[in-house]
Structure 1
């Protein structure tokens, strides 16, 4: 494999030869102005296809599928299944998520909702103690915390409807990794060590730790025989193995043994949904993103609509004024999220109103440039009567212009920390994403209302925001991120960095981030936000809190070539192209 090195010449002419994944020198046609090669932030460059994910092995699995002639969906499914092996804290078979698929031939973009669903026996008081308080252990670290998983069904649907390869072929790399093992990274070893205190389930200890209970060390080979068995069942029988067959039997038996709610009937009744994506317009670009049961797309468009009223480019990236107006838009959007967002199959979410230019204009007029609006003074809007931390993201673009933006999760790192006995499959704890008690914060501090109360067969609200940006009908940016409540604001900053500040995808990725979610009334900032900016923000009235790094965007920008950037905030991420 050839590593490409991008050379910058005094004449500002850039020469490059495109091969597997980085830079070399050779004559090239002139690049568009948006790709700033004079920046110290260089993207990875490819000519035909690119996969960017949080784990380099999975990125290369997807890249190899593209090399064999597979399309973006084939590569996405293979990457997803590989991540379930090599990134167990977020990649998964026992979770769920959202996928955007753009089909270049027809120009159509579809949204696949394979979010988990509440079991039939779930009810609104599921996690309440006798005194009415929320029991966080039940909601987050028990068999009760698992929703019916959607990942396997979602990936099979995507492949059958939009892929070109056979299921048995795209799942084979994951089988090989689980059965033969892969080299443990320092990150995986350290992460399993830090999480060991809540990975106490017998099947979990068997799956992720040595027989003596110790942690696998960096450089050692890690094999997952039970997960390999499950993957082979899926290879032979497809999703039926997971929802009606031998895997289903083992999941249901484990639930029954430990007081969980998921039954064989719950698994058999699970269905992913193909939805129309949400489409917004921002400064001449089309923003295509996820509809509910994700809240991400609604509020991404809402915030961008507000920000159109402010000259962000003139304000400058991460200036005190640009951070201020973006933060004020965040607070207003998250206030609306708390009241209006839920599963549209159960609740009439006022999407058109929330994403309208008219409503955004009203909100923009409430933002003052010289001072903060306290969260206590911000309430969720009232729709007029006459109008109706661990997740992971990957992005894919193929040689035909098809694209996939996929975000999926177990909710917490390693989900509930519980492996269903005999399967090697970690169970999600997505039931905590419901409002266990309307008005009470969840694990991410997010306030929910009646719209997101627990109900049987309902999908919990999510912040996942897989997104694509188009210009003149062509894909320009594919992005998304993990980060719990910070996902939406992370994706917002990627879009603003590329469109308003004309950054290349690597510079947009590397730029320091900030976050506000209405409640608590705190502005979280990454360490790289400079001192002078912090002082100006404090003078406006902000209460600043230093934060560890936010998000992990895995993004692709398409211009004359394909440009990828893996987020350096997480180790082992890679943009793999050819």
Structure 2
């Protein structure tokens, strides 16, 4: 490297390490990007001790269970995509399962309607958690440092405390207010003096520290057997939940082959079912590969129309075909991810007029938005993309004070009414109906893009229904439009999910002229403040340079490298 280039790179690294703002962060030896910067630092500290990307991901994920309880968890589940330094890619499925006592009509009254949103807001909405099993399996097969060493930082954070931030303070004020009648959440944020910590004060979680200590000392069995399992089962029995000690004892994470696609010389690896993310992502990227972007300007009405039409088709296919592969062995994954299928779908698109979604066909299952993502890369050339979730923000908002963590409400991701598909997006198709031990369909889309057998882009996002589309657009921004990672993350995102039949766009980021053109083409538009909270890393093999960025919509998030 020329001396001038070396000096410039050194300056960039110094600035990135000094400035505490949401911008690109540069590193040479390792990088962790997550929803909480203190947790990202935990991961980097593990890398500095000689750990690899899996070790860093596991340590960061357990740390997020302490620092980011809205979504970081040991009471939920998720997915890992892992690329090793030889270019081999695998995935770990630790999606929650329906309890053994579950049935496809468990939330319905005698008229066949869902009772009081019970599939989201009741103890019966809690699925068998998978996070601990997934992190343990990933570490056992691919980690480098001892298990106890990667779990210990989270134990220390829970036991000794960490600085309370403004996001947690806002949540604590709500959950301890008079209008909130949830007894568990009323006491969840209180310190030993029975008061909410002020921002900057240290928040300690002794019950969670004890639970994490059992996991540290006993691995998988520290959660699914013994004292913790007994307490979970007792709580479920007392509060109307379905999970038993047998459910916990039987739960196992699964290693699965990734969904693989390609885009103009890049290899795209993402999560297979029960995630719908990988199949939909590859299908949409195949459609984009057929477009002529020399004549379609970025963020023009033509560009957004094309993207929305691709989303519409992928989400229709998602609802028709995808579910837990262990219960749906005939999912046509090869067809849905093929270039020939994309050509057929592309030929159906009218570049001047919106298609019409039909509620008698297919649409989208609801996904909550209490999800978080982390990306890691190490000096050895390994990369991890990990997304996990509780469903709603703070999940079911239920838990045992003796255990210190929040249970998910993931059963709401199943189709609640067999055979009933509505314009509002509720789906009743067979592949995602409730059954004992079945994993509910997910939108989580942890993704690694490779180039010449090496990681090039590690990306993922929370956002429920929008996850697939925010990841898709970010990947497209980097690969097709050559955007640097922070710009790709911050660029306008839209969302179409077949049903409801509308384009949702991020408020204030689409021009009035573009909106009018899209409406004249037949689209219905709606807004939201932001979509997703992407956490990404790119790698330049020539410079051996890692570049990380987190979404500015997450004020506590951050990329940390060294």
TM-score range, shorter chain: over 0.9
Counterpart of 1:8 in structure 2 is none
> 2:491 aligned with 1:507, yes or no?
no
SS of alignment partner, residue 120 of structure 2:
helix
Q: Relative to structure 1, is the Cα distance of residues 20 and 93 closer, same or farther in structure 2, using a 3 angstrom cutoff?
A: farther
Contact kept, 8 Å, 1:405 with 1:468, in 2: the verdict is yes
Superposed CA offset, 1:309-362 (max 9, x none): 112354222111111001001001111111111000001211111111111111
Contact kept, 8 Å, 1:98 with 1:290, in 2: the verdict is yes
> 2:561 aligned with 1:568, yes or no?
no
1:205-220 correspondence runs (5 A):
205-209=186-190, 215-220=196-201
Counterpart of 1:16 in structure 2 is 9
Counterpart of 1:333 in structure 2 is 314
SS of alignment partner, residue 419 of structure 1:
coil
Contact kept, 8 Å, 1:234 with 1:242, in 2: the verdict is yes
Counterpart of 2:377 in structure 1 is 397
Q: Relative to structure 1, is the Cα distance of residues 150 and 377 closer, same or farther in structure 2, using a 3 angstrom cutoff?
A: closer
Greater Cα offset, 42-51 or 389-398: 42-51
Deviation of 1:208 (Å): 2.2
Q: Relative to structure 1, is the Cα distance of residues 142 and 320 closer, same or farther in structure 2, using a 3 angstrom cutoff?
A: same
SS of alignment partner, residue 119 of structure 2:
helix
SS of alignment partner, residue 435 of structure 1:
coil
Q: Relative to structure 1, is the Cα distance of residues 361 and 162 closer, same or farther in structure 2, using a 3 angstrom cutoff?
A: same
CA distance in 1, matches of 2:33, 2:17: 20
SS of alignment partner, residue 16 of structure 1:
helix
Counterpart of 2:524 in structure 1 is 543
1:419-568 correspondence runs (5 A):
419-438=399-418, 440=420, 445=425, 447-527=427-507, 528-559=509-540, 560=543, 561-568=545-552
Superposed CA offset, 1:25-66 (max 9, x none): 9xxxxxxxxxxxxxx995211011000001011000001111
Q: TM-score, normalised by structure 1?
A: 0.90
CA distance in 1, matches of 2:170, 2:448: 34
> 2:39 aligned with 1:55, yes or no?
no
1:307-322 correspondence runs (5 A):
307-312=288-293, 314-322=295-303
Deviation of 1:237 (Å): 1.6
CA distance in 1, matches of 2:90, 2:446: 12
Counterpart of 2:395 in structure 1 is 415
Greater Cα offset, 207-216 or 403-412: 207-216
Contact kept, 8 Å, 2:176 with 2:185, in 1: the verdict is no
1:355-366 correspondence runs (5 A):
355-366=337-348
Counterpart of 1:375 in structure 2 is 357
List gaps (5 residues or longer) in structure 1: 1-10, 26-39, 382-388
Counterpart of 1:353 in structure 2 is 335
Deviation of 1:189 (Å): 1.1
Q: Relative to structure 1, is the Cα distance of residues 497 and 448 closer, same or farther in structure 2, using a 3 angstrom cutoff?
A: farther
Q: Give RMSD over aligned pairs.
A: 2.4
Contact kept, 8 Å, 2:176 with 2:187, in 1: the verdict is no
Deviation of 1:305 (Å): 1.1
Contact kept, 8 Å, 2:191 with 2:203, in 1: the verdict is no
CA distance in 1, matches of 2:190, 2:422: 30
1:284-295 correspondence runs (5 A):
284-295=265-276
Contact kept, 8 Å, 1:226 with 1:422, in 2: the verdict is yes
CA distance in 2, matches of 1:81, 1:444: 36
Superposed CA offset, 1:224-278 (max 9, x none): 1110110111122222121111100000000011111100000000000000001
> 2:50 aligned with 1:66, yes or no?
no
Deviation of 1:546 (Å): 1.4
Q: Relative to structure 1, is the Cα distance of residues 400 and 22 closer, same or farther in structure 2, using a 3 angstrom cutoff?
A: farther
Q: Relative to structure 1, is the Cα distance of residues 24 and 483 closer, same or farther in structure 2, using a 3 angstrom cutoff?
A: closer
Contact kept, 8 Å, 1:59 with 1:574, in 2: the verdict is yes
> 2:97 aligned with 1:117, yes or no?
yes
Deviation of 1:193 (Å): 3.0
Counterpart of 1:298 in structure 2 is 279
1:173-212 correspondence runs (5 A):
173-194=153-174, 200-209=181-190
Deviation of 1:307 (Å): 1.6
CA distance in 2, matches of 1:437, 1:557: 42
Counterpart of 1:5 in structure 2 is none
CA distance in 2, matches of 1:224, 1:56: 19
Superposed CA offset, 1:259-308 (max 9, x none): 11100000000000000001001122111000001000001011111121
Q: Relative to structure 1, is the Cα distance of residues 130 and 380 closer, same or farther in structure 2, using a 3 angstrom cutoff?
A: closer
Q: Relative to structure 1, is the Cα distance of residues 438 and 318 closer, same or farther in structure 2, using a 3 angstrom cutoff?
A: farther
Counterpart of 1:250 in structure 2 is 231
Deviation of 1:539 (Å): 1.8
Contact kept, 8 Å, 1:444 with 1:484, in 2: the verdict is no
Count of aligned pairs between the two proteins: 546
Q: Relative to structure 1, is the Cα distance of residues 572 and 326 closer, same or farther in structure 2, using a 3 angstrom cutoff?
A: same
Counterpart of 1:96 in structure 2 is 77
> 2:75 aligned with 1:75, yes or no?
no
Deviation of 1:209 (Å): 3.6
Superposed CA offset, 1:111-160 (max 9, x none): 00000011100000111122210125321121111111000011111111
Q: Relative to structure 1, is the Cα distance of residues 444 and 83 closer, same or farther in structure 2, using a 3 angstrom cutoff?
A: farther
Contact kept, 8 Å, 1:203 with 1:422, in 2: the verdict is no
